[in-house]
Structure 1
Amino acid sequence: MAKATVKAKAPASKASAAKSKPTAAKPKAAESKWLKTILHSLNEMKAEDTVVIDLSDKSSIGETMVVTTGRSNVHLASIADRVVKDLKASGMTGIAVEGLRQGDWVVIDTGSVLVHVFRPEVRSFYGIESMWSA
């Protein structure tokens, strides 16, 4: 299966910023540790089409958003479980998880990094990347 990759493209100008793709985050030291742990977990679990979005100038809900895809409900739940397990093993506390029972869209909130794990059709339907890249 496809290896998780970080897609990033910085806008060339203010005019193109509205139509730009999500940009890679410039995380702080502690956030960088958590982000690296998250991306490693996603890669190990073979999550697909992983995108990192910098929210620092866009929202107070977090500094960084990670959006990724799982192939099925079981794969999605396994990805979320692994991310949480690895974050806790790295020393993070206070992790909130929503959506595991439904299995279409799981959100992992670490306080500074939000991780959205979608099934492919749900990700397409909501288009969360385009919502946050403007």
Structure 2
Amino acid sequence: MQAEKVLELVHTALEDMKAKEVVDLDVRGRSSVTDYMVIASGTSKRHVASIGEEVVVKLKDAGVMPLGSEGQGVSDWILVDLGDVVVHVMMPDARDFYDLERLWGVDAEA
């Protein structure tokens, strides 16, 4: 499936779960691992875990098998690897601390 279609499905899952501050980072040419990163925040650890699970379920339902998912035990930061798209769902304090938007040095696109 094309990366843009995967992004669309990810955004649907994030909207359905009321994720906060969703940002897309186009990292093509900056990363050999993925083309896009999607960063979103949750309002509690349970919310973060639920958002991550919804992303996995929606993508599986569409025939996209995640390559991996990390962080479910702690739920401060859930990472879902979809190949061309990597989704980070974070608690606001973890998001501020790691500041992926600045780290990747790209203009954020909502």
Interval of TM-score (by shorter of Structure 1 and Structure 2): over 0.9
Quick check: which has more Rg, 1 or 2? 1
Deviations 1:32-82 (A, max 9, x none): 111100001001100000000001110111000000000111000000000
What is residue 68 of structure 2 aligned with on the other side? 96
1:42 and 2:14 correspond? yes
Equivalent residues in 2 for 1:95-114, closer than 5 Å: 95-114=67-86
Structure 1 gaps of 5+ residues are 1-28
Contact 1:54–1:65 (8 Å) recurs in 2 = yes
What is the TM-score of this pair, normalised by structure 1? 0.76
User: More strand per residue: 1 or 2?
Assistant: 2
Q: State the 1:30 CA deviation.
A: 1.0
Q: Which segments of structure 1 move beyond 3 Å, counting only runs of 4 or more?
A: none
Q: Percent identity?
A: 37
Query: What code does the residue aligned with 1:117 have?
Result: V
Residue-pair matches, total? 106
How far residue 95 of structure 1 moved from its aligned partner, in angstroms, is 3.0
The residue that corresponds to 2:38 in the other structure is 66
Q: Distance in 2 between matches of 1:94 and 1:61?
A: 14
CA distance in 2, matches of 1:77, 1:57: 30
- The TM-score with structure 2 as length reference comes to 0.92
Unmatched runs of 5 consecutive residues or more in structure 2: none
